[in-house]
Structure 1
């Protein structure tokens, strides 16, 4: 490592999951290097690790083709501000975390400025818009992967990628015991618990929540003693909540630790659920323009990262028009009991977990980056 009095890092995360990974990475890097200063875009978790936040994720988390178009002026402004900062401050390295719509463009700008780039949690170009892999090949000098099959895929495309393991293999233990959790939400041990994870962005909630509510009402008509709890992401609003649905606002992970089965929006939470061993049904709805675009561009057979890692259907998926209350109900009810479907899914989870590597992903990522400074 270069002997400098002060190291400057610019780090970019554009959504909740990236903020979590960014905060853990920063924490790990500071364990190894004391004289390091972080500036960038992120959320409250990164701010708590003393990252100087320029743009908050609340203003960056955008999904969907139409939604992106609507926010283009703001995103162009953020890009301009970011590039100017890089030009004026010349950091020792730029660290990009997922968020490919913005970060791949920023990688090219940084390359033109002669700033070395680490990409931690790589864009899923193997799923759609494969042509973007050229940006990683030409503008990024360090690619750190957390998905088991990515290393081989990227290297076949001329991109050296190092698999460091998946951080979810070392999820922190629950902050509450099961008794504390049940007491907090007035739950009982004798009735099944259905967990709802409708998404972490308001656009997702707006499309998913009405379907979830209808499904839950059907489920309750079949299982009268069902208990239902929502793992609510920060900053979202859940409208028209039936009185019997409980809300966990502080730590959505607890609802996966102590639920019996879950309805989960496709995304990062599906792998977290698999690691925590809660059977699930995966679903997702895009806006119609985004769906039309995605259907043409997608190149993978599954939506859920769990099924993609396993390369087979471990968890049922209901995407777009297939995401109906009836489909969700019929798929999740067997998972609430000790059925063959539940047992088969849990065995599939074991197969997935074995591919995720050993604990210590953030430390390995931190050491790999520090070795480039």
Structure 2
């Protein structure tokens, strides 16, 4: 299938389609290169993967699409990306394809690559246990290696005939910020004693467009009771956030420092909810989809929770408000006790301890790299 003389310099085609995947992909590339320095990576990713050594074809900024109606609008682009990917894969003839999350695109790519007979690793598995369970057939038929980040996920896949190698969760090794709270707050012209709300409205522009109005309305409502409330906005790369919130500052370099040092967070459902748990900042979770996307999601979703923290715990550790429930009244009422010493705040922090214990031990990317290289016969 692949040239035998490439055993010391494997080539991987790798795909990530959003900011969280870019982070995971960058660390995975680095871990594989540490074990196999001549490895080559070609594919789609963001700035972090490029810095780690990816020969990038398409930037994630063009791929970060969320919701059913939103995907339909971008179908011509996605068809072109798919076609360009297949052409490049045929030209490259990689030793292995690595797919990171982003299931709407990646599972179709896996199917379309079947005739090429190239083995495929899936890292950060889609949450089939929550919705779209029928996608398990794609894993049975087209995915050579599945790397699981949750212990319950491994059991779920294996009970349906798909072997999944549990390697632990990447957030088990989140490091504390390299800066200090004093230095970080000084940069934002804040005092260490300030009560600070961190806004995490999402990593895609369409999320920002839908979430930002409710974010600033929630802050305005909170300030009726807490006029001295300070705000730091976590801004992902490639998005624009309207600067219409008085007294708020934007952090776009070290968002995790904002999480680590903030008092509480208002978080759009997604990877950031688990980052908040890892960094111990109490949060309230919210999310809004377009009306048609929400209707379809409600029919397909089997889980009682949206926030990853609650899914892992199997109970409501953090309050979550979706669609019409995500109002400034509900969000501000839920956030208020988290911004001061309270039973609600202590309950969230206690729940976080439970969640962190389930994430496994550090070394996730090294374990992923080792299993990928072994399966590729290059380690």
Same topology, TM > 0.5? yes
Gaps of 5+ in 2: none
Residues 148 and 309 in structure 1, CA contact (< 8 A), matched pair in contact too: no
- Residue-by-residue CA offset, 1:123-166 (whole Å, 9 max, x unaligned): 11111111111001111010001123200111111111111111
1:165–1:349 CA distance, 2 compared to 1 (3 A): same
Verify: 1:50 aligned to 2:53, yes or no: yes
Of residues 316, 320, 323 in structure 1, which corresponds to 2:323?
320
1:255 aligns with 2:250: no
Aligned to 1:187, what secondary structure does the other structure show? coil
Is the Cα–Cα contact under 8 Å of residues 168 and 275 in structure 1 kept in the other structure? yes
User: Is 1:59 aligned with 2:52?
Assistant: no
Asked if 1 retains the 8 angstrom alpha-carbon contact of 2:17 and 2:64, the reply is: yes
SS at match of 1:149: helix
- Tell me the distance in 2 between the aligned counterparts of 1:34 and 1:251: 28
Q: Structure 2 CA distance, aligned partners of 1:195 and 1:59?
A: 27
> Which of 337, 351, 368 is the matching residue for 1:365?
368
Which residue of the partner structure matches residue 307 of structure 2? 304
1:137 is the counterpart of 2:137: no
- C-alpha displacement of 1:61: 0.8
* Mapped pair 1:79 → 2:82: yes
Name 2:131's counterpart in structure 1: 128
Could you list the runs of 5+ residues in structure 1 that have no partner in the other structure?
none
Query: 1:188 corresponds to which residue?
Result: 191
Cα distance in structure 2, aligned partners of 1:27 and 1:292: 40
Partner of 2:166: 163
1:11-50 alignment runs, 5 A limit: 11-50=14-53
**1:112 to partner: Cα distance:** 2.3
Give RMSD over aligned pairs.
1.3
**Partners of 2:193 and 2:228 in 1: how far apart?**
9
Moved over 3 A (4+): none
- Are 2:245 and 1:245 equivalent residues in the alignment? no
Aligned-partner SS, 1:371: helix
2:334 paired residue number: 331
Corresponding residue of 1:228: 231
- Asked whether the 8 Å contact 1:307–1:313 carries over to 2, the reply is yes
Q: What is the deviation of 1:67? A: 1.1
2:206 to 195, 203, 227: 203
1:148 paired residue number: 151
1:273 counterpart (268, 271, 276) = 276
Secondary structure of the equivalent of 2:113?
helix
Find the residue that maps to 1:272 and give its secondary structure. helix
Report the Cα offset of residue 5 of structure 1. 4.2
Maintained 8 Å contact 1:111/1:140:
no
Once residues 151 and 308 of structure 2 are traced to their aligned partners in structure 1, the CA distance between those partners, rounded to angstroms, is: 11
- Inter-partner Cα distance in structure 2 for 1:175 and 1:326: 36
CA-CA distance at 1:172 after TM superposition: 2.7
CA contact (8 A) 2:9 2:36 kept: no
In terms of mean alpha carbon deviation, does 288-297 or 166-175 score higher?
166-175
CA contact (8 A) 1:111 1:117 kept: no
Partners of 2:284 and 2:318 within 8 A in 1: yes
Separation in 2, partners of 1:166, 1:36: 24
Q: Is the 8 A contact 1:219 1:329 kept in 2?
A: yes
Q: Deviations over 1:68-92 (max 9, x none)?
A: 1111111111111111122222110
Question: How many residue pairs were aligned?
Answer: 373
